[in-house]
Structure 1
């Protein structure tokens, strides 16, 4: 499921801005993939739908492509450090129903932390932006939702130095979780 406006409200979105230095000084220090609340009423209705779908498809809706996810939103947070002024900034990347987004800020609350890493090989903002720009823009509940997008983006950023085969193996492992 996806819908950043609901998660903005229920997971306490906080815009934080960025320093006045040029982005050439920015590098990524940490990366985190998290699951956010989209509200209790929607969650209850979605769970009823998931149950009906599971019964009417004889369980296939719980298996195909990882099954229908819970009524949540998934996003990737990056800690961006400016090498010039020393400022630490929050950058969140995510897929909403209308498009992918890269926003300066963070969610103040999350339900689960799917993955978290300190970035060993510091990546520049330019490298992150290049990865983001190559990500898909279209939301699809079954084959391209915010969970798939966040997992793919997290993997591309974190594993940017891996071979394609190593990356695809990691992505498959994440989707099976």
Structure 2
């Protein structure tokens, strides 16, 4: 719902450059979906939307405005923790969506109002980026905002990670059965 750049003021954006060893060494180990406080710029955008909606649809305003502007006045983003296999540093990348489009950037918001969801992962950086590249880009205050996008991104990454986990387990079992390494518990 907000611009990630305008949510940065109240949400205390903290840029943190990655280690520099190269993305090919990065594995996603944890993912968090957060609701952050809005920056003043976004609060003004919402106020302008209220004014515009009231102006466009006349004095019925209160009912019209409440249906056009979502009640959730927070900025939603997904933070993914990547561990570097070369140096063991944990790098943080935030995946964001606003009326300026989607973006990913190294760093995180220092203030969070609510942790919406969290999960552990074991997934390559490139596969997280594949999900990000495939995400939708059309912004709408109602039905296509940062909350909808963060929820969709979080679920897609989680589903892809689970698919990979299942395939890896299948191949591990198939390999041990085929090569006689499968042991029953006694």
- In the alignment, which residue of structure 2 is the partner of 1:148? 148
User: Is 2:18 the partner of 1:18?
Assistant: yes
Task: Answer whether contact 1:98 1:138 (CA < 8 A) is retained.
Answer: no
| Aligned mate of 2:90, from 88, 91, 110 | 88
Q: Distance in 1 between matches of 2:81 and 2:162?
A: 21
1:56 to 34, 58, 63: 63
Decide which structure has the larger Cα Rg and report it.
Answer: 2
- Distance in 1 (CA, whole Å) between partners of 2:161 and 2:26 is 19
Matched length? 153
Question: Relative to structure 1, is the Cα distance of residues 161 and 83 closer, same or farther in structure 2, using a 3 angstrom cutoff?
Answer: closer
Q: 2 CA distance for matches of 1:150 and 1:159?
A: 14
Any residues of structure 2 matched to 1:12-161 within 5 Å, and which? Answer: 12-39=12-39, 42=43, 49=50, 55-57=62-64, 61=67, 68-119=70-121, 122-161=122-161
C-alpha distance in structure 2 between counterparts of 1:161 and 1:26, whole Å: 15
Report the counterpart of residue 8 of structure 1 in structure 2. Answer: 8
What TM-score, normalized by structure 1, do the two folds share?
0.76
Q: Which runs of 5 or more structure 1 residues have no equivalent in the other structure? A: 164-177
User: Structure 1 residue runs of 4+, over 4 Å off?
Assistant: 52-55
Counterparts in 2 of 1:28 and 1:103: CA distance versus 1, 3 Å:
same
In the alignment, structure 2 segments of 5+ residues that lack a partner are 55-59, 164-186
Q: When the two structures are superposed, what TM-score results if normalisation uses the length of structure 2? A: 0.72
Structure with higher helix content: 2
